[in-house]
Structure 1
Amino acid sequence: MTRLRPLLLLLALLLAAASPAERLPRLGEGRVAAVIDGDTVELEDGRLVRLAGIEAAKPPPGRETERRWPLAEAATAALKGLAAGRGVRLHGPDGTLPDRYGRLPAQAVGADGRWWQGELLAAGHARVRTLPDGRELAAEMLALEAAARDRGLGLWRTRAYAVRPADPQRLRRDIDSFQIVEGRVLRAEKRGGTVYLDFGEDWRSDVTARIGRDALRAFAKSGLDPLGLPAETIRVRGWIGEHYGPTIEVTHPEQIERLGQRPPAPAGESAGKDDE
């Protein structure tokens, strides 16, 4: 990993500067009137824009008003530095519509050419969180995230956002939250149109990633066969639910990163310095 660090850093800088978002169709433009949080802005014409493909540092669900969350404040401040009062060009797939909260999901490029998602990921203010209908630039964003994580920047300094081992006891503390989980797939089985990736010997209590019928069509198009993953170590990112043991619903291939046939890192290695 030591040899990879300079390469990851160089790749991160190149991606952030190259504005790959501009390869996507233009959805419009505007000027930022307000920064709502680390991944949402309001334009002068009243439109709300959600930075697509990322999740900025935020308090865990249910703890929004419990106490200050400095990492969330830092993410908001970083976006203000990029966006406040400035022009922005919005990019994404043709036909992109606002989400259920009225926010337009888009890749954002400032008037100065800086790609806002890339800047936030490279500084460790956000994690990659793609959606089934919003997977553009996943590879570029994952590379930026990896470089920031390797350098321990921003949220990657802390246990609150550390990559979780596929340990059912530890993951039960993360039910109803978005996490990145790493482990070795012991078994992959298709039942009733759904593929189950099991990270333990007992599917009734261990960690499972579940890939439904619609998602499997996307996997087939991507060339990734989830039934071929046993014995591989993978990272899977998503919302932690509970069905017998902790379960992640996988809706698109970009949620899975293949790390090869090697044992996962010991649990202690993914822990950061503190809870936040």
Structure 2
Amino acid sequence: MGVMIATNSQRGVGLCATIAALLLITSGAARAACIDLPSQGEGVVAAIQDARTVRLDDGREIRLAAVEAEAAHRGEAIAALSLRALGRRIMLHGADDAPDRYGRQPAFVFVEGEARSLQDELLEAGQLLVGVGIAATDCRAELLAAETTARDSRRGLWAVGAALKNAENVDDVLSRVGRFSVIEGRILSVREAGGTIFLNFGRRWTRDFAVTISRRILGSFEAAGISPKSLENKRIRVRGWVERRSGPQIAVRDVGQIEGPGAHWRP
């Protein structure tokens, strides 16, 4: 069942902080890269299904593309989305409108009359995380910049320092198995085995955190001017779903999952 309005428990201090953050970012300079993607139509939001999904009055379910929600912050994220979108006419943009396995149409969502996407605004308010698989690099850079603003300002989910995980804290990373996470640390070694490149964040390969890159996607790294071997001894930030192999790992399927220090790589 869709969430028509936020509950009382969702309206407390967190919602006040959300409103304040949204007011702050509304006055900021508009970025328009994602709005340049092809139009997918429009509709009126009839219900909020979850922190990143809305239902339109014609029955369509729209999944906010390229973002992920943090389970511990779900209530505030739903409240923020409700505040911004419920009952509003929205415009949909995106390179691919094929439904996901749940029948939801992924799209960048723009409230009528607004130049910034809901994704952009909610990221900058600290309510969501940038996801993966964003083909348009200008749009990806726009979203990452919004998330960086929230992180630097400690807004929303970034108000708690633990939101950005430390690659050296293996137990903390293991607690994220099966969950989308943003992890930062220094790569101690780069090794290749069986067509897979391992970016190792520790010396105990069977226990410490690692990032894996299939040789099949090395072309995208080359196009971005990046050699995985050159990342040795570099501090990076990686995002994706944590899996447990011998130790915790994130499989990189898109060069955009990795960020270097102080800048976003853009293929």
TM class by smaller structure: 0.7 to 0.9
**Corresponding residue to 1:164 among 144, 166, 170:** 166
**1:112 corresponds to which letter in structure 2?**
G
What RMSD over aligned residues (CA atoms) do the two structures have, in Å?
A: 2.2
Query: Secondary structure in 2 aligned to 1:163?
Result: strand
44-53 or 189-198, larger mean C-alpha shift: 189-198
Same amino acid, percent of matched pairs: 40
Structure 1 residues 25-174: aligned runs within 5 Å: 25-59=38-72, 71-93=73-95, 95-113=96-114, 114-131=116-133, 137-158=139-160, 161-174=163-176
C-alpha distance 141-133 of structure 1, shift in aligned 2 (>3 A): closer
Cα-to-partner distance string for 1:1-56 (whole Å, 9 max, x where unaligned): xxxxxxxx99x932xx3333211111221111111122110111111111111113
Runs of 5+ in structure 1 lacking a partner?
1-8, 60-70, 261-276
Alpha-carbon distance in 1 for matches of 2:137, 2:37: 12
- TM-score by structure 1 length? 0.79
Q: Could you say if the C-alpha distance between residues 84 and 108 of structure 1 is closer, same or farther in structure 2, counting changes exceeding 3 Å?
A: same
Q: Summarize the Cα distance change of 1:134–1:247 in structure 2 as closer, same or farther, 3 Å threshold.
A: farther
SS in 2 for 1:45: coil
CA contact (8 A) 2:184 2:237 kept: yes
Equivalent position to 1:199, from 201, 206, 217: 201
Relative contact order (alpha carbons < 8 A, sep ≥ 6): 1 or 2 greater?
1
TM-score by length of 2: 0.81
Counterpart residue number, 1:13: 28
Structure 2: runs of 5 or more not aligned: 1-23, 263-267
Contact 2:180 2:241 in 1 (8 A): yes
Rate the CA distance shift 1:50–1:178 in 2: closer, same or farther, 3 A.
same
Q: Distance in 2 between matches of 1:246 and 1:54?
A: 22
Superimposed CA distance per residue, residues 114-136 of structure 1 (whole angstroms, 9 cap, x where no aligned partner): 42011101111111112276877
Letter in 2 for 1:109: F
Structure 2 equivalent of residue 22 of structure 1: 35
